[in-house]
Structure 1
Amino acid sequence: MRYSSQFKPISYLKASTADVLADLTERREPLVITLNGEAKAVLQGVATFEQTQETLALLKILALGNQDVAAGKTKPATDIVARLRAKRAST
């Protein structure tokens, strides 16, 4: 995704808000808003935002898992499966 073509001045946003929102929904790409030629904000559609948040959550889970592995906080899968089978058998 090329962000260089997705820069618009704040005046464009003010004048074309409905078009900008429709474009964000359709294209699913973020839009960088500039003020005095400097990037100040990023707009994105709700679906894109939600997808980004889900991706970040999964990456956080992976990072926490890697930390547990590095700290030796793991157990063999065979031990876990045996424990689960024993629980199921006792109920």
Structure 2
Amino acid sequence: MKFSSQIKPISYLKANAAQVVDGLAESGEPLVITQNGEAKAVIQDVKSYEQTQETLALLKILALGNRQVEEGRVHSAKDALASLRKKHSG
């Protein structure tokens, strides 16, 4: 993805909001908004935002799992299944 084609000043957003929203939904790419020549905001369509949030959640779960492995807080599958069976049978 090339951000250079997706950079617009805030004045462009103000003047073309409906067109910008349609373009976001169509392309799925984020748009960087500048103010006084500096990047100030990024806007994206809802579907892309939701996908990003789901990806971040999965990455957090993976990082937590890796940390638990590094700390030695793991159990064998056999022990985990036995523990689950015990909880659900009692």
TM over 0.5, yes or no? yes
1:83 Cα deviation after fit: 3.2
Give the root-mean-square deviation of aligned CA atoms.
1.4
User: Which has a greater percent of helix?
Assistant: 2
1:87 Cα deviation after fit: 5.1
**What stretches of structure 1 of length at least 5 have no aligned partner?**
none
Q: Identify the residue that residue 9 of structure 2 maps to in structure 1.
A: 9
Read off the aligned partner of 1:17 and give its amino acid letter: A
What TM-score does the superposition give when structure 2 sets the normalisation length?
0.90
Instruction: Note the 1:1-91 alignment, pairs <5 A.
Output: 1-86=1-86, 90=89
1:86 Cα deviation after fit: 4.8
Q: How far apart in 2 are the matches of 1:61 and 1:70?
A: 14
Q: How far apart in 1 are the matches of 2:37 and 2:27?
A: 24
What TM-score does the superposition give when structure 1 sets the normalisation length?
0.89
Read off the aligned partner of 2:57 and give its amino acid letter: A
Q: How far apart in 1 are the matches of 2:79 and 2:3?
A: 49
1:4 is paired with a residue of what secondary structure? Answer: helix
Q: How many residues align?
A: 90
Distance of aligned partners of 1:5 and 1:78 in 2 relative to their CA distance in 1, 3 Å threshold: same
**What stretches of structure 2 of length at least 5 have no aligned partner?**
none
Q: How far apart in 1 are the matches of 2:84 and 2:43?
A: 47
Q: How far apart in 2 are the matches of 1:87 and 1:10?
A: 57
Q: How far apart in 1 are the matches of 2:72 and 2:38?
A: 47
Aligned sequence identity (%): 63
